């Protein structure tokens, strides 16, 4: 990796989330099919996963497919699901070599059964790896994640036959999210010059630092990741606490 930005010793973000946007526009500009943009987007994702692992980032959440992305054409949805399947199969040796753990955020029940199975297997096969944790946000929506968390909480209470809790707490809801052990993202990156959260990590991202890049995702490089981390390192995080 040849970063154009030299990172300082300031703390690295523990958890980075990326909204990988701009695959379609990348393809359009090159007069290619949108699917070609997703193929290039997958190559970029692999590059960035390796870079994050080399930088000793602990958690990387990639927004692969949202609960709203089902509105796209059947051809595009089928292509992205095919890419995900291929990625999960082909990268296993890479995860093993780099001790990368794969995890899932999102509702597995809405996924095609073969994808849900591959994903569950990849999560299981890499469960013991202590390096970077890559969280694939797949059939993921921030609102849906909160609704499912509240549902889980109520279910667990019903099972305990305690009924509805006297007090609804943040800790109670947070503890029922898909991956309650994963710390909140410190840095959320969005590529391709869009300035929206698009339903990504709504709960967990409450105090994330946002970084927006004009570059389309297929053109993103390790140097862009370093630039985003460097910008993060210059931010002053107060978590609502005011100036010292």
Residue 110, classified by CB atoms within 10 Å of its CB into exposed (0-12), middle (13-18) or buried (19+), is: middle
Q: What is the DSSP string of 127-147?
A: TT--S-EEEEEEEE-HHHHHH
Looking at beta carbons, which residue is closest to ligand FPP?
24
Among 16, 51, 81, 83, binds ligand FPP (CB under 6 A): 83
- Give the CA distances from residue 165 to residues 153, 173, 177, in Å, rounded to whole numbers and listed in that order: 9, 12, 17
Binding mask 182-211 for ligand FPP (x = CB under 6 A): ----------x-------------------
**In 10 A of CB 111, how many CB atoms?**
20
Considering 23, 54, 69, 243, which one is annotated as catalytic? 69
Give the residues across from 65 on adjacent strands: 138
Binding mask 14-53 for ligand FPP (x = CB under 6 A): ------xxxxxx------------x--xx--x--------
Among 51, 57, 64, 145, binds ligand FPP (CB under 6 A): 64
Query: Does 62 participate in binding ligand FPP (rule CB under 6 A)?
Result: yes
Please enumerate in sequence order all residues whose Cβ is within 8 A of that of 158, keeping only pairs 6 or more positions apart, or say none. none
Write out the residues near ligand FPP by the rule CB under 6 A: 20-25, 38, 41-42, 45, 62, 64, 69, 80, 83-84, 87, 192
Which residues are tagged catalytic?
21, 69
């Amino acid at each position: 990796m040849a970063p154009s930005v030299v990172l300082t010793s300031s703390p690295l973000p523990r958890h980075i989330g990326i909204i990988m946007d701009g695959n379609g526009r990348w393809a359009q500009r090159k007069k290619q099919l949108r699917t070609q943009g997703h193929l290039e987007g997958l190559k970029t994702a692999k590059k960035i996963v390796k870079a994050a692992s080399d930088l000793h980032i602990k958690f990387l959440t990639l927004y692969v497919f949202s609960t709203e992305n089902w509105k796209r054409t059947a051809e595009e949805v089928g292509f992205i699901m095919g890419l995900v399947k291929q990625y999960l199969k082909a990268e296993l040796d890479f995860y093993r070599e780099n001790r990368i753990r794969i995890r899932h955020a999102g509702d597995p029940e809405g996924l095609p059964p073969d994808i849900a199975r591959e994903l569950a297997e990849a999560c299981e096969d890499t469960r013991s790896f202590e390096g970077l944790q890559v969280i694939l946000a797949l059939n993921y929506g921030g609102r849906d994640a909160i609704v499912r968390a509240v549902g889980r909480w109520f279910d667990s209470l019903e099972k305990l036959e305690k009924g509805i809790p006297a007090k609804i707490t943040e800790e109670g809801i947070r503890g029922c999210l898909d991956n309650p052990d994963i710390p909140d993202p410190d840095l959320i990156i969005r590529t391709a010059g869009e300035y929206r959260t698009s339903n990504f990590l709504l709960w967990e991202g409450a105090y994330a630092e946002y970084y927006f890049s004009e570059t389309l995702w297929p053109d993103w490089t390790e140097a862009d990741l370093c630039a985003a981390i460097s910008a993060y390192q210059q931010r002053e995080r107060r978590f609502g606490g005011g100036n010292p």
